[in-house]
Amino acid sequence: MTHRSTPAIALLGSMLNLAWLVGGMVSAAETATADRGDLVLRYQFTTGEAVSTQVAHRAVTETTINGTTQSVETATDSVKTWRVTEVDSDGQTTIEHLVDNVTMTSRASGQEQTRWESDSAAPPPAGYEGVRLSLGRPLSRLTIDQCGRVLKRRDLFPNPPSNTGDLMVVPLPDEPVGVGSSWIIPEEIVVEVPGGPRQSIRTRLRYEVAAIRDKRVLINVDTTVLTPVDDPRIEARLLERIWDGQIEFDAAEGRLISRSASVDHRVVGFHGPQSSVRYKASREERLVDH
């Protein structure tokens, strides 16, 4: 599994995909810039402001074992907010991350659809109880520099690991950029099979500037798995974690306007020679009122 964007998934049974709401850890950027330009990308925030985004996640998992295929479809729509508590003289920003509300829908083969809206008075269904407890409260507090490097981080509420294959804060390069500029972020994913092996997987996120118009920068991102993986059980656990996508960054305002990602991959033999699992998903995030 050494080809580009070799994916990763979690096994069937995960009806609750909230990890993408809370994001992952940012590691130090390694820049590999081609065709340098003169546009500097930096985050810009003001103390006291709240930056909200609408997030839509859709996923279908199809699992075949011994000739029987089952599928699970999930849809999650949410509003998440970055609450800026402090910006110092060097532009270092302290942010509290919250999820304001969520609507979650799931349907499994042969079963009725389950739907829950956090704004409703109805109690959450089984498996969703912890979601309501986490809403409207800071999930994590982090301090970032103007390039998005995380200087400090404290998780304030138990969070599952990120499964977007991307980072909570999109890292920006130190150097000015032009069309064709690129930078690379190494990341490590720890994958564990219940009752089986545990493996640390090295990946690489590559960002490349595809277009610039009126200081709005379109950035493509793709993921490469660097660690050879020859165990289908590990490979199946990776599928949800490796994504490719596109980002739009407003260099004038210093923030992301939108972010999208998708994945569609299949693994054979994760539960015996006659087994397979396919994971197909998309994620769209857009700045509110922009």
Q: What average pLDDT score do residues 43-48 get?
A: 96
H helix and E strand count, the chain: 3, 13
Name the average pLDDT for the chain. Answer: 85
CA distance 99 to 78: 7
Quick one: pLDDT at residue 128? Answer: 77
| Range with top average pLDDT, 5-19, 67-81, 150-164 | 67-81
In sequence order, the 6+-apart residues with CB closer than 8 A to the CB of 107 are 72, 73, 113, 114
What are the Cα distances from residue 76, in Å, to 22, 104, 113? 13, 5, 13
Tell me the pLDDT tens digit for each residue of 171-222.
999 999 999 999 999 999 888 888 888 899 999 999 999 999 999 999 999 9
Quick one: pLDDT at residue 222? Answer: 94
Within 10 angstroms of residue 175's Cβ, the number of other Cβ atoms is 13
- The pTM for the full model equals 0.83
Per DSSP, which regions of 130-226 are E strands? 140-144, 150-155, 182-192, 198-213, 216-225
pLDDT higher than threshold 50 for residue 88: yes
Q: Model confidence at 12, in pLDDT bands (50, 70, 90)? A: very low
Quick one: pLDDT at residue 13? Answer: 39
Which has the minimum average pLDDT: 21-25, 121-125, 193-197, 275-279? 21-25
Q: Quick one: what percent of the chain has pLDDT higher than 70?
A: 84
What are the Cα distances from residue 268, in Å, to 162, 230, 279? 24, 12, 12
Quick one: pLDDT at residue 178? Answer: 96
| Range with top average pLDDT, 12-21, 25-34, 85-94 | 85-94
Which amino acid, one-letter code, is at 188? E
Quick one: pLDDT at residue 122? Answer: 86
Q: Quick one: which of 146, 23, 2, 125 has its CA closest to 74?
A: 125
Give the number of residues written for the chain: 290
Q: Model confidence at 28, in pLDDT bands (50, 70, 90)? A: very low
Q: What average pLDDT score do residues 122-145 get?
A: 88
Cβ atoms of residues 264 and 282 within 8 Å: no
CA distance 117 to 100: 12
pLDDT higher than threshold 50 for residue 3: no
**Please, is 61 exposed, middle or buried when counting C-beta atoms within 10 Å of its C-beta (0-12, 13-18, 19+)?**
buried
pLDDT higher than threshold 50 for residue 23: no
pLDDT higher than threshold 80 for residue 18: no
DSSP assignment string, 94-151: EEEEEEEEEEEEEEETTS--EEEETTSSSPPPTT-HHHHHHTTS--EEEEE-TT--EE
Tell me the pLDDT tens digit for each residue of 228-286.
999 999 999 898 888 899 999 999 999 999 999 999 999 999 999 999 999 999 999 99
